[in-house]
């Protein structure tokens, strides 16, 4: 994740950030490194993927900024191809239509198995995740981002 602030990038450290889940629960990621990118910009590297179906919020907590008001929240919901906040059967239809017709969706929406491209293998992955098959538990079909589909 890239972050910009009106300060010297060398002064931005992991301790400047507060990470929370909304709603609370699950194992929080931690920042493993802060890499300067240029004037006032850094790259934040986390120790693990964000918890699925829950908001992960990263707040910048250096006065006059406040981590409660200066934050970004991100969520990951497997299967939600159309990005409406719910994993539903229509998402599989959208995935198939994107593969068989003109592609209108981004790979970030359709690359279900995170291989770097969208292929028919993503349909199989979608079905596996939907049904809780293989390594996937729980099933994510019909789940909505916990608590709210809107960023907290
Ligand atoms: Ca959806
Ligand atoms: Ca793929």
Residue ending a domain, among 44, 74, 104, is: 74
Predicted local distance difference test score (pLDDT) of residue 147: 60
In this predicted model, what pLDDT tens digit does every residue of 13-49 receive, in sequence order?
999 999 999 888 889 999 999 999 999 899 999 998 8
Judged by its nearest atom, the ligand closest to the C-alpha of residue 99 is 2
Which CATH number do you get for residue 123?
1.10.1330.10
User: pTM for this structure?
Assistant: 0.69
Q: Looking at the structure, tell me whether residues 87 and 141 fall in a common domain.
A: yes
In a domain, 152, yes or no: no
**What average pLDDT score do residues 68-77 get?**
82
Q: Looking at the structure, tell me whether residues 47 and 94 fall in a common domain.
A: no
In total, how many domains does the chain have?
A: 2
Q: Looking at the structure, tell me whether residues 7 and 59 fall in a common domain.
A: yes
Q: Looking at the structure, tell me whether residues 85 and 67 fall in a common domain.
A: no
- 81 CA distance to ligand 2 centroid (A)? 13
- 124 CA distance to ligand 2 centroid (A)? 10
In a domain, 151, yes or no: no
Say how far apart CA 122 and CA 111 lie, in whole Å. 6
């Amino acid at each position: 994740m890239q972050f910009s602030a009106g300060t010297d990038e060398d002064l931005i450290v992991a301790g400047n950030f507060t990470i929370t889940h909304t709603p609370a629960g699950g194992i929080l990621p931690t920042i493993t490194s802060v890499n300067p990118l240029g004037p006032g910009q850094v790259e934040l590297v986390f120790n693990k993927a964000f918890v699925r179906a829950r908001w992960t919020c990263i707040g910048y907590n250096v006065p006059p900024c406040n981590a409660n008001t200066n934050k970004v929240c991100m969520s990951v919901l497997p299967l939600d191809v159309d990005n409406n906040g719910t994993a539903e059967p229509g998402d599989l239809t959208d995935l198939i239509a994107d593969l068989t017709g003109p592609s209108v969706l981004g790979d970030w929406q359709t690359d279900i198995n995170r291989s770097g491209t969208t292929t028919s293998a993503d349909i199989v992955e979608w079905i596996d995740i939907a049904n809780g098959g293989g390594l996937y538990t729980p099933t994510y079909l019909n789940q909505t981002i916990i608590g709210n589909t809107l960023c907290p």
